[in-house]
Chains A and B, each alone.
Chain A
Amino acid sequence: MNIDLSVKIGSLALRNPIMLASGTVGYGNEISEFTDLNKLGGIVTKSLSLKPRKGNPPQRIAETPAGMLNAIGLANVGVEVFLKEKIPFLKKFDVPLICNIAASTIEEYIECTRILTTEETIKAFEINISCPNVREGGLIFGNDLNAVAKITDKVRATTGKPIIIKLSPNVSYIAAFAKAAKDNGADAVSAINTLVGTAFNINTRKPKINNITGGLSGPAIKPVALAKVLEISREVDIPIIGIGGIMDWKDVIEFMIVGSSAVQIGTLNFIDPSAPGQIVQQLEEYCEKMSIEKISSLTSSYIL
């Protein structure tokens, strides 16, 4: 049987649903030593801001049961250096490149998009309105329906390329945010970003990470992520990229069943950077075994 693993995120066509999540692959070079990027559905860059950002001081990460907290603080090279020094490497691959943009003001989102949209290697934008680890912007936008609407609208006016809004789970009703994104011209949403969490050392009584709180990721958050994807899927007609604690191909299938058109692999890249390529292979074997001709038919195939 000929298995069709391709999926569509609005007008963005991917050869399979496996994408690598922002902040877990840098700018592609290190992970390319372990996984063939050309076999993947897409890769999402580390969040880019207009100017380089130094990021938070150590400790930036702490392990928690079945998960990890991080507060990197959007350390990145900035759009200018990205275009000059990182794009030449990424150009070598035949894999859709999605640029994740983070900003402190609406104007900065617009300016970043304006500069990056002229680069043909970049196929789409993921707008980070939900980073929990920086003081300005980030989650403040992600918690504010009007801000999400306005950012989406302004970025929409700046680029003709597909726009994906990365949603925060740290809200009571995520579907409202997905709807605001859709109503203002977003092509898709990705869900979820990390959950705000913390951990303390009981001997020193100090937080384990310098930022006090961080973003929780890893398998610990998968049930939350699945519930958020399902909520959006049932209430808003917009393509969803599912993210949250995917550790193997079965998790991918589960995310697709509850409503994801594609998924992003994040924390797993830190543990087994060769896993994404293997998962693509295993998805094909699963479809073959289950006589699923088109993997896209799994999206929102839940039975309630």
Chain B
Amino acid sequence: MFIINAPVEQTIEIDHRIYLLKINAPKITSIIKPGQFLNVRVSERVFPLLRRPFSVCDVDGEHLYLMFNIMGEGTNILAHKPKGSTIDILGPLGNGFNLTGDYKTAVIVAGGLGAAPFPYFTRTLNGKKDIISFIGGRTKDDVITYNLKNVKEASDDGSRGFKGNVVQLLEENIELLKSKNIKVFACGPTVMLRALKDFCLKNNFNCEVSTECAMACGFGICQGCPIESTENEEKYLLVCKDGPVFNIKDVVI
């Protein structure tokens, strides 16, 4: 974990409302793993006060990319960071995806901005495992396929790809999935993850999921981000420190 002041190299609007912030951060890019996150202080002012957590979207040499949409004041400031300004980053934080194992095909399942961690994931796994990406969103604008491979799309309103949610799209492809030795890696809204958990348990698919929760510090001292464990009812896990990636069997979603 470091706190660094990193120069902003570029802010890219990759799709309308979806931004990529390109930062120079060799100290972090040399160690960060897919699925880990960073806690970003968007300004030195007291409003917004808290850091904003972002999963690492992509890494290219010394360049680090964060993906976000404008949700409020913090992300609005980030989207308008001028080139050459710096941002204060704390990270890398949390546990990333476990990419090792004897599976042959990584199945990415993402809804909306849940696609954010998977460009780096794809880059890291490229050539080592086969990848199929199931990407869903409410409408065509919410289906984010930036830097992903072998994409199957779904939208709730049918404006892009399969009409329905991404778990229904998995069901449609169940024979394909069953014919391969797969491991599922997922990130997205709670309703999606809930349906995905049922789907994976029913079909006995191993699945890791990246979770999210409002948090302040990002490294375990504020205790602000509990998630219910299936193993121990007496104690919460923390999204920031014990996660954000969990085996889907280990957490109550």
The number of chain A residues with a CB under 8 A from chain B is 38
CB-based contact B226/A60 at 8 Å = yes
CB-based contact A65/B47 at 8 Å = yes
A30-B219, A62-B214, A272-B3 given; A219·B226 CB < 8 A: no
Partner among B220, B221, B225 whose Cβ is within 8 Å of the Cβ of A58:
B225
The contact sample of 24 A-B pairs, CB cut-off 8 A, is A23-B222, A23-B223, A25-B221, A33-B1, A34-B1, A46-B223, A54-B234, A55-B236, A58-B214, A61-B215, A66-B46, A70-B216, A70-B222, A72-B222, A75-B236, A218-B46, A218-B49, A219-B49, A270-B51, A270-B221, A270-B222, A273-B3, A273-B90, A273-B221
CB distance from B214 to the nearest CB of A (A): 5
Partner among B41, B49, B220, B223 whose Cβ is within 8 Å of the Cβ of A55:
B223
Restricting to A46-64, which residues have a CB under 8 Å from any CB of B?
A: 46, 52, 54-63
Question: In terms of DSSP, what is the predominant structure of the interface of chain A?
Answer: loop
CB distance from A28 to the nearest CB of B (A): 9
**Is B235 interfacial (CB 8 A cutoff)?**
yes
Closest Cβ neighbor of A269 among chain B residues: B221
Taking beta carbons and an 8 Å cutoff, which residues of B are in contact with A? 1, 3, 41, 46-51, 90, 213-217, 219-228, 234-236, 241
Inter-chain contacts of A72 with B (CB < 8 A): 222-224
**Is A207 interfacial (CB 8 A cutoff)?**
no
Q: Return the CB mask of A1-44 against B: 1 if under 8 Å, else 0.
A: 00000000000000000000001111000110110000000000
In the complex the two chains form, what is the Cα distance from A67 to B219 in whole Å?
A: 19
Inter-chain contacts of A270 with B (CB < 8 A): 50-51, 216-217, 221-222
Taking beta carbons and an 8 Å cutoff, which residues of A are in contact with B? 23-26, 30-31, 33-34, 46, 52, 54-63, 65-68, 70, 72, 75, 218-220, 247, 267, 269-274
CB-based contact A68/B221 at 8 Å = no
In the complex the two chains form, what is the Cα distance from A24 to B47 in whole Å?
A: 20
Inter-chain contacts of B222 with A (CB < 8 A): 23-24, 61, 70, 72, 270
Closest 9 CB pairs of A and B: A61-B224, A270-B216, A270-B217, A66-B46, A26-B221, A219-B46, A30-B220, A60-B224, A72-B223
Inter-chain contacts of A60 with B (CB < 8 A): 214, 223-226
Inter-chain contacts of A56 with B (CB < 8 A): 226
Beyond A70-B216, A270-B221, list 11 extra A-B contacts (CB 8 Å). Answer: A23-B223, A26-B220, A30-B221, A31-B221, A33-B1, A60-B225, A219-B49, A269-B217, A270-B51, A271-B50, A273-B90
In the complex the two chains form, what is the Cα distance from A46 to B238 in whole Å?
A: 16
Closest Cβ neighbor of B3 among chain A residues: A274
In the complex the two chains form, what is the Cα distance from A56 to B48 in whole Å?
A: 25
In the complex the two chains form, what is the Cα distance from A31 to B234 in whole Å?
A: 25
Partner among A34, A66, A220, A271 whose Cβ is within 8 Å of the Cβ of B51:
A271
CB distance from B120 to the nearest CB of A (A): 24
CB distance from A213 to the nearest CB of B (A): 16
Closest Cβ neighbor of B233 among chain A residues: A54
Partner among B216, B227, B234 whose Cβ is within 8 Å of the Cβ of A68:
B216
In the complex the two chains form, what is the Cα distance from A54 to B222 in whole Å?
A: 14
Partner among B3, B47, B226 whose Cβ is within 8 Å of the Cβ of A34:
B3
In the complex the two chains form, what is the Cα distance from A68 to B48 in whole Å?
A: 10
Inter-chain contacts of B47 with A (CB < 8 A): 65-66
In the complex the two chains form, what is the Cα distance from A63 to B3 in whole Å?
A: 21
Inter-chain contacts of A54 with B (CB < 8 A): 234-236
In the complex the two chains form, what is the Cα distance from A219 to B3 in whole Å?
A: 22
In the complex the two chains form, what is the Cα distance from A61 to B50 in whole Å?
A: 11
